[in-house]
Chain A
Amino acid sequence: MTRNAPDSTLDHVMPESTDAKDSTQRLALRAGTAPAHTFVDGPTERRKTWLRFRKHRAAVFGLGFIVLLVILALTAQWITPYTPEEVNLRMRGDGPTADHWLGNDDIGRDILTRLIYGTRVALLVGLGATMIAVTIGVAVGATAGYFGGRVDFLLSRLIDTLMAFPLLALLLTLSTVFGPSLRNVVIVIGCTVWASYARVVRAEVLSLRERDYVLAARAAGASDRRIISRHIVPNAIGPVIILASLAIGSIIILESALSFLGLGVSRPTASWGTMLSDGRDFVRNYPHISIAPGIAIALTVLAFNLVGDGLRDALDPRQRS
């Protein structure tokens, strides 16, 4: 058992992803108390989960904010009066006005418009990369946990290897190799952060595979694939969802850091990280250029973290704090 998180920016969101908490969690599981996660249980359970989530006021606020972001991202071209690339040099660094609520950037583009378009990049990277990571992570983790033995040993070392890499360093290197672009950022991040999911799923599966219903399915002659996909994965998915919801925020920060360093989303695409880096040299004269995207990133990450907290409490009542 090794413990580490993929990155300093990721680990804060989920101390539970470390085995420190896992061990207590698993002790509880072994003791046979309450089903670990209630995610796939019947509609009443789902409703209960929702009710528990709803009690978490901050989480509901977070969810609301995310819904708002999604709406903004989807309707960006209709609700913004300008295009994100529209340059107006005569408005270089202009502060907020009635026509430009958040002012203009160093080449006179409308900051609000770019901010709204920036939600697309943030969500695409946050959700896209997480989806890739979850898919790989669940597949690898379930395989390792279910089959055990040599397969487990090899896959676990692969997980260890990936987790041992300093993430940002790896991302910078990969960005240089593949060239910076939105698509590459999503893929590169997705393909490097999956290890923590794999580790969690593996641990869950290790305990699940000895459960009665799995043993029963096996006795009934169900194939490995069927057992994994029908019985194991759905039951192991709870902690993955919690981990994922908490990791989205840090992935958004990662993307912004990459763009800030010039190795993320390429210009002129409006990304919050690129906007920050645009404003970086003008902080003295036009601080509003970098303040707006900074706040946008912070609020978005905050919202995802709150939802993650709420989900954890709702899905896993034992962990409620």
Chain B
Amino acid sequence: MAAYLIKRLSQGVLVLFLVSLLTFFVIYFMPGDPARTMVGQARVTEEQLEAIRDKWGLNDPWYERYGNWIGNLLTGDLGTSMMRPGQSIGDMISNAASMTLRLNVMAFAISLLIALPVGVLAATKRNSFLDYFSTFGSTVGVAVPNYWIGVMAIVLFSVKLGWLPPYGADSWKSYILPVFVLSIEEMAATMRLMRGTTIEILGQDYVKTAEAKGLARNVILYRHVVRNAMLPVITLLGYRIAFILSGTIVIETVFAWPGLGQLFFDAISNQDLQVVQAIVLLLTTVVVIMNIVTDMTYAIIDPRVRVR
């Protein structure tokens, strides 16, 4: 177990190194001059522009820029933002991340609360109304672009009915629409997975044996089915958490939610390269860590995994 953990950790570090390199180079080749963007229309001379570039290290050779970035990162210094002069990137990101996290944790909780029981029930009552309903719902739920649902929901609930605020993150009311929209896709995916896995497990020999032995249906469901079905769900959870940004980037723009997605979009538009780099690295780190965590969970639940 320890050896496996060490192996996974070292792989993780390697991946993070590659990620940082790749991020750095993609951003290195971004067109435009961040210094020019930064000064906007201020009347600057070419010397003053040079001074700004020097100050932000834009003139250094790539290896120095990369080295400085990583060096500062390792000491926990994310630097200051170019688009919001004087603000520390660390603060900007932690504020935004907490907003994004809140949204996603709620969406996650709601989708799991609904999707897990419905998925299992649908699997046990094949061809029932519930089954058709959940199958239909999860098929449609993943097909409809969620940002479109968001736009439509604003029209309906905010503009036409005036029940909910159309934007912002003020009261509990402002959470309803974005959380609802975000949870749809989540719910659909989880429901589908839960149903599929349960059906598969119900068909396994040991379940049939248990049934033959006359074990109560509920006991079988709980002891064999649900516990086994949790495995893939944990996996799903692992990478869903890791991919928070992609899922919310468009939704945050639609609802003007001051989270990571919006920050990222702003940063990329304003060529605030430091912020872009920091966000990407933060998120990939989360992914890598979540992967290791799920792998370990897996290895504990299902020892066979370790063999490979």
Contact = CB atoms under 8 A, between A and B. Distances in A.
Given A3-B238, A165-B19, A165-B280, A290 B246 contact: no
A interface, by DSSP: helix, strand, loop or mixed? helix
B264 A169 contact: yes
B235 A260 contact: no
Given A2-B291, A12-B189, A166-B283, A261 B265 contact: yes
Nearest to B159: A284
Contacts of B151: 276, 280, 283, 290
A211 interface: no
Contacts of A321: 195-196, 199-200
B152 A168 contact: no
A152 interface: no
A4 B276 CA distance: 22
A170 B27 CA distance: 10
Interface residues of B, number: 68
A89 B12 CA distance: 56
Given A8-B246, A176-B268, A161 B154 contact: no
Interface in B260-281: 264-265, 268, 276, 279-280
A1 to B, nearest CB: 6
B232 A11 contact: no
Contacts of B159: 283-284
Interface in B134-187: 139-140, 142-145, 147-148, 151-152, 154-155, 159, 185
Classify the secondary structure of B's interface with A. helix
Contacts of B243: 4-5, 7-8, 11, 166-167
Contact of B147 (A177, A260, A291, A306): A260
Given A3-B238, A8-B240, A177-B26, A169 B280 contact: yes
A305 to B, nearest CB: 6
Given A3-B239, A298-B144, A261 B139 contact: no
Interface in A1-46: 1-5, 7-9, 11-13, 15, 18-21, 23-24, 27
A261 B290 CA distance: 29
Interface residues of A, number: 59
B139 A177 contact: no
A18 B246 contact: no
Given A165-B284, A177-B29, A298-B140, A8 B264 contact: no
B118 interface: no
Given A11-B239, A174-B26, A177-B29, A160 B148 contact: no
Interface of B: 11, 14-16, 18-19, 22, 26-27, 29-31, 139-140, 142-145, 147-148, 151-152, 154-155, 159, 185, 188-189, 192-193, 195-196, 199-200, 231-232, 235-236, 238-240, 242-243, 245-247, 249-250, 253, 264-265, 268, 276, 279-280, 283-284, 287-288, 290-292, 294-295, 302, 304-305, 308
Given A161-B15, A170-B26, 7 more contacts: A5-B243, A18-B239, A27-B304, A168-B249, A177-B26, A177-B30, A260-B250
Interface of A: 1-5, 7-9, 11-13, 15, 18-21, 23-24, 27, 157-158, 160-161, 163-170, 172-174, 176-177, 179, 249, 253, 256-257, 260-261, 276, 280, 283-284, 287, 290-291, 294, 297-299, 301-302, 305-306, 321
